[in-house]
Structure 1
Amino acid sequence: MYRTLLVLLVLVYGGLHVLAQSPFIHTTTHLVQPGSEPREHPVDIQRMTVDVKFDAPAGIVKGRVTHVFRTLWRRVDSIVFDAVGIEIFQATLGSRPVRFRSTDTTVVVYPEPPLRWDAEDSVSFTYQAAPRKGLYFIGWNDTTRRMRRQIWTQGQATDNRHWIPMYDDMNDKMITETIVTFDSAYAVLSNGTRVDAVVNGDGTKTWHYRMTRPHANYLLMIAVGMYDITERRAASGVPLYLYSYPDYPDRIEPTYRMSVEAMDFLERETGIPYPWESYSQVPVADYVFGAMENTTATVFGDFFHVDARGFLDRSYVGVNVHELTHQWFGDLITGRSPKSIWLQESFATFYPHLFTRETQGEDAYQWSRRGLHRSALTASEKDRFPIVHPNAGTARIYPKGAGVIDMMRYVFGEDEVRRVITHYLRRHAYGNVETNDLYLSFQDTLGITPDWFFDQWLYRGGEPHYKVSYSERARDGGNVTSVDVEQIHPVDELTGYFRMPIVVEVHYTNGSKDSERAWVDGQRTTIDVPNTKGKDIDFVLFDPGSQVMKKVTFHRKWEEKIAQLKRAPLMIDRYDALEAMRGDTSKEAERLDLLADVMKNETYHAMKTEAIQQAAAMGLPGAWKIVAMGYADKDVNVRTAALGAYGIVPAVLKDAAAALLHDSSYAIVQQACQRLCASFPAEKAIFLDAIKGERGMHERVRIARLEVPASDGDMAAYDELADLCGPSWEFMTRQNAMQAVKRTGMLTPSSAANMIDALWSTNGRLASVANGVLAALTEQPRWKSLVRTTAGGLAMKPWQRAIVDPLIR
């Protein structure tokens, strides 16, 4: 952990001057993290060839890797390669052996004589590893063979070093080749173009893949499994190879819905053709993240590999567009260091946001923007790290950065920013970038200097908080509406007063409006909106459409809120009026009528969800009717909100809730079963019979159906739950089953053994759930004793024992 220093930038020009006296320096963040600059390296790796074989049941990789390089330093007498827990058998420099030394995390080679500037040579290692990061062996410990058997990799951030001796950092890009020898019954995917696949005489096959352009080595990937492959083509002719499980052909279309459209959209929107020869996507079991944008070959968790009903609960579309965007932002151009990671993740979050407008319409686009803004504002409640900082955090490098790009288009123009991005991508193709490269692209393309924008939104932290009020006064035979804007957020060295163009709209009772776009700058700004005909004000909008990331304090009269709710042109402005009514108990009967109107007249789910939540919280006699409208809504989000509105389903809504046991959404069926059984226990058998045979994605409906009798002491149902906790199932099923077991309050040797197995999983989410469930249940002495006895009968390696022991002491 590095100590964080808050510093003022200085400019050396005839002496040192403090920031207040100096122009903005656009290459340095205001919050400095020592050691965050790109890693130094004495050689430039130009090509890496990895040749591997696997002993899957043992979790072992055996390989040979060759690094072709050019020296960057005047004298190179040692080269350090990252190698965590890798056993090196041999190292060669060119064709001759070279002295090397291994540590727990590196292997160092010592060229003799030392290499000089621009020398071209190669280093090869023959090695073996049994990694628990970077390379994952899935399903090989399932003795029942029900679990899918796979091998897959996850390199980001720096995990490929656990199975390949390599220079493992993002600031060196190279052409890679991957050669894999494995059981010929399986399919193997890696980066680039498949050169050949040779059948060997021993039941194996050797697959050879090669990139033709350089990319960062954390993007190198391998996936091995049983797959079918569907080919589609983009409008430009780019081939898309869609991998799927052979036993689930019905999941191909829902999983990969809009894949071709996304490719067409990104080629058009970026102005840059897809920069590689082909694009593959492959689902894998027990994946440790959501998805990974490996160059030409995205890996994603098979929890996104869904059927048509599962699509309603968990769609891959957004993640699909995110990872595809990375083929440009992250793969074509790659950040030079971790503080440049926003140049990858923010753009890969922004373009799915933009794709939402094209595919789902303006309301969804506004709601997506609101989500970006809320995430950023929530993060600032904890700290105010800038986006350009290695510790910025997920909320800043993903949603806040995407929101900042969205504001770039608002401030500078959509077409203008599109030209900047095209230039930026073309100029830095297949290279490394930092934030200043994007800044210079504005200058090179548009001839403008957006230093103030980059300073306040990227190199500084925080967001503006505007306090808004307005008044009317007479002027020149008419009126003027004066909108007073005060910036009330804390101001210090890290966060200043923001400068942004803000639109103010004054809407009148006759249906017309006047608007002004003005710069809000400094602590206080007044925006005058002429009202030459003296029309009566209906309501006033500050930043209609919520273009600017901000907090707003704007107290409005009840009548103004109603007018805005009923007549604001944009959904998000009507939503703000509706949300502002939340908790107002002064006019509850009138508010209830307004909520009913929302359910009848609005079409977007966010509006209806807010109405349902407010109605349920009011507790008025008739409020349930609004919730009932949600039960029958065609939007799955609204039905979900309605079903979750009450902890206990009111008797008057029992039939409506029971109808949801036949819903198209698995998640709603699961939730309906749980809510109904808890609310009307005497009728549990009826509810369970209604979903007999339903399983759902990740067995979620089946688990809900089993939990009820298991909680009542039905051991057959409990044993089925215990089995679902075991290694024959992917991690989401296992963790759902474990949570159900926890709610039963009981353990058996079988369920305990399966949870102990989960503690050792390389999937951190699964291990965390198992640890939490066991920790909760072993608070009871009898269950701790059972777990201790169960663990004592299991063969464990020292590292496994170290994980289990804290639970049974």
Structure 2
Amino acid sequence: MIRVCLIFLLLLSFFGFSQQTDYVDFKEAKVEISINSKEKQVEGHIEYTFEILKDVDSIYLDAQSIKLDSMQLLEIRPHIHTEYIGIRYQNNSKQIIVYNNFKREQIFELHMNYSALPKKALYFIEKDEGNQIWTQGQGKYTSNWLPSIDDMNDKIEFDLSITYDKDYEIVANGNLTDKKTNEFTTTWRYDMEKPMSSYLVALTIGKYNKKVENSKSGIPLEMFYYPEDSLKFEPTYRYTKRMFDFLEEEIGVSYPWQNYKMVPVKDFLYAGMENTSLNIYSDAFVVDSIAFVDKNFVNINAHELAHQWFGDLVTETSGTHHWLQEGFATYYALLAEKDIFGEDYYYWRLYEYAQELLEQDKAGQSTSLLDPKSSSTTFYKKGAWVLHMLREKVGDEAFKEAVKNYLLKHQFKNVKTDDFMGEVEKASGQDLSEFVKVWLNNKAFMYDKAMKSLKKSTFIQEYLMVDCEVETSKCYEYLSSWISDEAKSKIIFQNHELIKKEAFINPLKVRQAIAQSLSDITTDLKADYESLLNDKSYITIEAALFNLWRNFPEEKTKYLNQVKDIDGFNDKNIRTLWLTLALITEDYEPENKKSYFDELTDYTSSKYGYEVRQNAFQYLNQIKACNDACKENLKQAGKHHNWRFKKFAKTLLK
């Protein structure tokens, strides 16, 4: 035992000075798993093929608390024979270490049977509409349910075969090649053709329908949706094909995978995740036509799609170069939206990013873009700004040539910032060392330079010109003028006293600003403000309902009846507010008070998505009506896998 521990310590010391990828290349993984949702268990068989690059006496797979049932090592000798090798290994609950006298150019297969009870990375979701199972590898490590390589520098071709209840759909990386159903289960076989980092291995299990549309280049775009959400399909997946076709042309490199699948899931950890060929995203972005105005899937879809090139095809070597994934995905998603919504939208979003980065600077929280501990604001939004400024500096032609060469040269490999900047210097003929120093190495965001770039847009010039905190004489007239909705909204938020009847004769976004900013409603504006309850915006309706209910107590019943049947977004923002107001409105349907209270309390249970639960908890807490059932649900929420919701619940429990 002492000798084994000593070998393990020596191994850790050895790999501390060099990556395993210098010594071994895992090439292919044939994975067969069956999932037991009752026991929350994964049982699997894996066959890894790997090549020895340098002589070494041990190799490892990452395996977090995985039970290893059996293992075999085979040496593959082309045109001769396959030979089983006597094997010695150790499973220390973090890694499976295989000891052997491995020699350069040898090729092996490693076969293993295992089981796992994953605490993270693979999640079991239980809802009334049906169970779901989904994965999240990035930041959580696929090795919690599949012995694999956490180091993103080793890219492997994964072929997944997954067995589960026959009444459910299974979606995974790659192309579905076969389905076999027996009495109780179905086995789904997926094939990948190219390698990827292990954190991008993914699967989803749930009850879905799907529609398929081919891109201009012939790539199948598989769009999944819940059977009950057929009417939400079009607004949810609006512009998908257009964005795909745009990005292929703009990037200049063909989409590198067999298909592109989009699958919504419940209680997801993030907005979306760019698993190779499989975008798993939060069903909060499954929307109807009204919700589309304020909260849609377009940006998330474009962002995760852009990652298929920037992150999946070429992958950072380490967190130091994380902006090569998130900055690029943010920038190219913005370009795709620019193609749809126009140039003003593009500059407006850049302006919003700049303001967020400025606030980060003021808070003393800014870091270099090459700091692996940087914030998401830095990686995503500063990264996008760097690409915008770089393109301005070198020109469209050189920029696009550099991006294309960068992707083709490093496809299915890992990259550093110098790899990209080197291609830009070659394509442009410019020395970009000063640009790197100012925009990448510098902690501060170059706000003045960014604003100079933004002012090339007449839309931004106009927005900056309108400032009612400095000059108020023309602001009332601006509200009925030709200026942009963004500029008018700015005026309203700066000085809501300027709101007169004429201000309501404006497009939806301006009316939304009125609903959100004008909390004290005068009698002469009452009828105009009431019209906001008919707007096609769940944000507007929510704000208008509360403000009207508060300002005109004698007409509470009228307002409650008017929006009684509206749920709002998937988080039931309007319904939960409505229930709360109905409960505290004296004499409003007293015979239904109990059912309304029961409904609001029920929304705190795990049957619902965490966004719905959070709204219900907040309202019940505000009216001091969180009963024993609510409190028990709150305790349960304090153990939720979504860290934001868990933090919210723990804070409320204090």
Q: TM-score, normalised to structure 1's length?
A: 0.74
Within the candidate set 377, 387, 392, 2:374 is matched to 392
Shift, 1:630, TM fit: 4.8
Indicate the SS of the match to 1:248.
helix
Mapped pair 1:596 → 2:469: no
Query: Residue 460 of structure 2: which of 563, 572, 577 is its match?
Result: 572
Q: How many equivalent pairs are there?
A: 622
Counterpart amino acid of residue 570 in structure 1: T
- Does 1:108 pair with 2:17? no
Which residue does 2:436 correspond to in 1?
A: 454
Letter in 2 for 1:571: F
CA-based RMSD: 2.2
Name 1:213's counterpart in structure 2. 194
> 1:730 Cα shift?
1.4
Q: Does 1:655 align with 2:527?
A: yes
SS at match of 1:601: coil
User: Could you report, residue by residue, the CA deviation over 1:513-562 in whole angstroms, capped at 9, with x for unpaired residues?
Assistant: xxxxxxxxxxxxxxxxxxxxxxxxxxxxx836346xxxxxxxxxxxxxxx
3-state SS of paired residue (2:224): strand
CA offsets, 1:282-328, max 9 Å, x none? 10111111101111111000011111112122111011111110111
Q: Whole-Å Cα distance in 2 between the matches of residues 597 and 404 of structure 1?
A: 38
One-letter amino acid matched to 2:605: G
Against the structure 1 CA distance between its residues 97 and 299, is the aligned structure 2 distance closer, same or farther, given a 3 Å change threshold? farther
Q: What residue in structure 2 maps to residue 311 of structure 1?
A: 292
Match of 1:612 in 2: 492
Cα offset, 1:39, TM superposition: 4.7
Is the CA contact (8 Å cut-off) linking 1:347 and 1:405 kept in structure 2?
yes
The residue matched to 1:648 in structure 2 has which SS? coil
Q: Equivalent residue for 1:785?
A: none
1:646 alignment partner AA:
L
Aligned residue in 2 for 1:284: 265
Cα shift readout 1:403-462 (whole Å, capped 9, x = no counterpart): 010001111112221111111111111111111111221233233321211222112321
Alignment counterpart, residue 150 of structure 1, candidates 127, 132, 140: 132
SS at match of 1:709: helix
Q: Which residue of 2 aligns with 1:624?
A: 499
Larger displacement relative to structure 2 (718-727 or 157-166) = 157-166
Tell me the SS of whatever aligns to 2:495: helix
Letter in 2 for 1:409: R
Please, which runs of 5 or more residues in structure 2 have no aligned partner? Answer: 1-14, 75-83, 587-592
Paired amino acid for 1:458 = L
1:692-731 equivalence runs, <5 A: 692-698=564-570, 699-711=572-584, 714-731=593-610
Q: Superposition pairs for residues 271-670 of structure 1, below 5 Å?
A: 271-381=252-362, 382-464=364-446, 543=452, 545-546=454-455, 570-579=458-467, 581-582=468-469, 584=470, 588=472, 590=473, 594-616=474-496, 619=497, 623-625=498-500, 628-635=501-508, 637-670=509-542
| Whole-angstrom distance in 1 between the partners of 2:180 and 2:26 | 28
User: Distance between the aligned counterparts of 2:484 and 2:203, measured in 1?
Assistant: 42
Largest Rg, 1 or 2: 1
Once the 2 structures are TM-superposed, how far is the Cα of residue 632 of structure 1 from its aligned partner? 4.3
- Once the 2 structures are TM-superposed, how far is the Cα of residue 631 of structure 1 from its aligned partner? 4.1
Residues 358, 447 of structure 2: 8 Å contact kept: no
How far apart are residue 258 of structure 1 and its match? 0.5
**Cα distance, 1:420–1:689 mapped onto 2, change above 3 Å:** same
What is the match of residue 589 of structure 2?
none
Q: Is the 8 A contact 1:175 1:213 kept in 2?
A: yes
Aligned equivalents of 2:17, 2:311: Cα separation in 1: 18
Higher alpha-carbon deviation: 722-731 or 366-375: 366-375
For residues 255 and 332 of structure 1, the distance between their equivalents in structure 2, rounded to whole angstroms, comes to: 26
- For the residue of structure 2 that corresponds to 1:418, the secondary structure is helix
Contact 1:44-1:70 at 8 Å conserved across structures: yes
What is the identity, as a one-letter code, of the residue corresponding to 1:204? T
Which of 119, 137, 140 is the equivalent residue of 1:132?
119
Q: CA shift at 1:269, angstroms?
A: 0.5
8 Å CA contact 1:631–1:643 kept in 2: the answer is no
Stretch moving more, 231-240 or 763-772: 763-772
Change (3 A) 1:748 1:279: same
Answer yes or no: is the 8 Å Cα contact 2:221–2:259 preserved in 1.
yes
Moved more, 325-334 or 600-609: 600-609
In structure 2, what is the equivalent of residue 9 of structure 1? none
Which of the numbers 673, 685, 688 marks the counterpart of 2:545? 673
- Shift in CA distance, 632/757, structure 1 to aligned 2, threshold 3 Å: farther
Matched, 1:185 2:167: yes
Q: Where in structure 1 are there 5+ consecutive unaligned residues?
A: 1-34, 467-499, 503-541, 548-568, 776-809
| TM-score where L is the length of structure 2 | 0.91
Deviation at 1:680, TM superposition (A): 2.5
Q: Distance in 1 between matches of 2:136 and 2:85?
A: 32
Deviation of 1:675 (Å): 1.9
Distance 1:341 1:437 in 2: 13
